């Protein structure tokens, strides 16, 4: 069996490469070595036996060459950033997926299964209920609300505080360019896959952590920024009131989820959450970073917030558990493994220490009226 892993030089892709090799697959990687992810322009984690093609997933001839004699496609390549080049997100993440199916169908390729990397981002501001008005999927909180340092998601009918639910697969509600592109990607894959009988699964990863993770994409933000600042003995800047919740998953659990849906026909033509199912507040996370590093750096709650941040994003993972997968690693182990890796690479690169300053200058981080 031969697997094509797009984005196989990246964080999740490179761990999939290792696992597929271990399982006895022949592995081909198609990766553009995007300079934002690979500043050196080198693929640093690819074993020799990998058939590596440097190229863009949106390029027809390159993708067709990469698909030659492939049984399984693992589509991990993606554009992930904060920048306002909205069309590029759709182009790289969604159009490449359409092109993949176009080539499989037009060229009658014998691909047996496609797994696409989606994201928890497809849920947007999430899923809530009001004790009076029931279930709702909110718009992102308005700038006016955030400026007043009024952080909680309110019922749109009565403006009263509401309860956050764990995110379940059936209710998506993306807003930003990345989230929209990821939902488009999985709709294309699951829809065209179904119509043409190409078994397909979409996996919506929560914040994935572990060795080799991108120090640049927005998902790894909280982890690399806190660790980077604590190592520099700088205060950990926590946005809002620090009570926003997140969901962290170990890279090995994500890899195991990919293998589980690959083996299971029952997974075909469906989307699955891949997360911990456990809620961690940003304050708890900051505190754990300090404990792990035996650091007494200050946790700074200065009334700042990030434009477009979600208040609560924790996935329910029962659907994937029903296929026999479950997350094995807790947050403490996740952080231990991340810190061991950071140490092995000599710390967090200096050029990203000032992520907070860069986000302020770009107008992504804003100051609420109660701020200092
Ligand atoms: N890391 C997370 O926490 C997380 C969470 C949710 C979803 N995801 C999704 O998982 C997938 C893998 O993410 P990751 O964290 O490994 O990212 P990453 O940035 O480490 O890896 C992505 C790889 O794709 C390559 N790439 C980018 N654009 C390309 C293009 N046009 N053509 C070919 N290659 C290209 C990059 O060079 C990089 O090697 C992505 O689809 C991402 O959207 C990741």
Looking at the DSSP assignment, which residues form a beta bridge with residue 51? 28
pLDDT tens-digit series, residues 260-287 = 999 999 999 999 999 999 999 999 999 9
φ/ψ of 291, rounded to 5, equals -60, -45
Question: Is position 64 within any domain?
Answer: no
Report whether residue 77 contacts ligand 1, using a CB cutoff of 6 Å: yes
Q: Which residue's alpha carbon is nearest to atom 30 within ligand 1?
A: 56
- Domain hosting 211: range is 78-367
Evaluate: CB of 117 within 6 angstroms of ligand 1: yes
Q: Terminal CA-to-CA distance of the chain, rounded, Å?
A: 59
Is the beta carbon of 214 within 6 A of some atom in ligand 1? Answer: yes
Residue-level pLDDT at 221? 73
Report the pLDDT value the prediction gives residue 372, as an integer from 0 to 100. 46
- Number of other CB atoms surrounding residue 370 within 10 Å: 11
pTM of the model: 0.96
- Going by alpha carbons, the residue nearest to atom 39 of ligand 1 is 10
The CATH code of the domain that includes 187 is 3.40.50.720
C-alpha of residue 213 to centroid of ligand 1, in Å = 10
Phi (first) and psi of residue 117, to 5 degrees: -85, 115
Displacement of CA 320 from its chain's centroid (Å): 17
Q: Which two tokens stand for residue 67?
A: 């698909």
Measured CA to CA in angstroms, residue 88 lies from 31, 81, 83, 84, 360 at distances of 16, 10, 10, 9, 23
Q: What are phi and psi of 191, to 5 degrees?
A: -70, -55
Quote the percentage of the chain above a pLDDT of 70.
96
14 in contact with ligand 1, CB cutoff 6 A: no
Pairing of strands 26-31, 51-54: parallel
CA distances to 97, 297, 330 from 181, in Å: 10, 38, 30
**Does 32 map to a domain?**
no
Residue 57 counted as domain residue: no
Is 295 inside any structural domain? yes
Model pLDDT for residues 17-72, shown as the tens digit of each residue: 999 999 999 999 999 999 888 888 998 889 999 999 999 999 999 999 999 999 99
- Which of the 8 DSSP states describes residue 94? I
Q: How far is the CA of 74 from the centre of ligand 1 (A)?
A: 11
Q: Which atom in ligand 1 lies closest to the alpha carbon of residue 57?
A: 32
Q: Which of 73-77, 186-190, 343-347 has the lowest mean pLDDT?
A: 343-347
Residue 27, in any domain of the structure: no
Residue 334 lies in a domain: yes
Give SS3 for 119. Answer: strand
Q: What is the mean pLDDT of residues 239-248?
A: 96
The answer to whether residue 48 sits within a structural domain is no
- Pair of tokens at residue 303: 């009334």
φ, ψ for residue 343, nearest 5 deg: -60, -40
Count up the domains in the chain and report the number. 1
- CB hemisphere CA count around 10 (13 angstroms): 27
Who contacts 56 (Cβ-Cβ below 8 Å, separation ≥6)? 32, 62
Q: Is residue 329 part of a domain?
A: yes
Which of 14, 52, 80 has most ligand 1 atoms within 8 Å of CB, for mutation? 80
What is the 342 CA–ligand 1 centroid distance (Å)?
19
Residue 206: phi and psi, rounded to 5, are -85, -170
pLDDT of residue 218: 54
């Amino acid at each position: 069996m031969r697997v094509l892993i797009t984005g196989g030089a990246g964080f999740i892709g490179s761990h999939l490469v290792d696992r597929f090799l271990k399982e006895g697959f022949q592995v081909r990687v198609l990766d553009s070595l995007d300079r934002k992810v690979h500043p050196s322009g080198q693929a640093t984690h690819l074993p020799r036996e990998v058939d590596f093609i440097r190229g863009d997933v949106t390029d027809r001839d390159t993708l067709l060459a990469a698909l030659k004699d492939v049984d399984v496609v693992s589509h991990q390549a993606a554009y992930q950033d904060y920048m306002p080049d909205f069309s590029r997100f759709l182009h790289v993440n969604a159009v490449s997926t359409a092109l993949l199916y176009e080539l499989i169908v037009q060229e009658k390729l014998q691909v047996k299964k496609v797994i696409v990397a989606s994201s928890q981002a497809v849920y947007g501001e999430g899923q809530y209920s009001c004790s009076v008005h029931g279930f709702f999927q909110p718009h992102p909180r308005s700038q006016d609300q955030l400026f007043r340092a009024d952080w909680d998601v309110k019922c749109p009918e009565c403006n009263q505080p509401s309860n956050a639910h764990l995110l379940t697969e059936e209710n998506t509600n993306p807003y930003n360019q990345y989230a929209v592109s990821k939902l488009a990607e999985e709709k294309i894959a699951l829809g065209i896959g179904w119509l043409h009988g190409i078994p397909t699964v979409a996996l919506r990863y929560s914040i994935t952590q572990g060795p080799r993770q991108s120090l640049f994409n927005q998902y790894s933000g909280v982890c690399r920024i806190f660790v980077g600042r604590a190592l520099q003995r700088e205060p950990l800047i926590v946005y809002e009131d620090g009570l926003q919740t997140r969901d962290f998953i170990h890279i090995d659990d994500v890899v195991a989820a990919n293998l589980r849906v690959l083996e299971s026909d029952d997974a075909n033509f469906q989307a699955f959450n891949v997360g911990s199912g456990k809620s961690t507040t940003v304050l708890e996370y900051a505190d754990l970073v300090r404990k792990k590093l035996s650091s007494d750096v200050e946790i700074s709650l200065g009334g700042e917030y990030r434009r477009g941040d979600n208040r609560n994003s924790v996935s329910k993972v029962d659907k994937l558990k029903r296929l026999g997968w479950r997350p094995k690693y807790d947050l403490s182990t996740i952080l231990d493994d991340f810190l061991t890796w950071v140490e092995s690479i000599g710390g967090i690169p200096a050029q990203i220490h000032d992520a907070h300053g860069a986000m302020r200058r770009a107008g992504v981080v804003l100051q609420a009226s109660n701020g200092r």
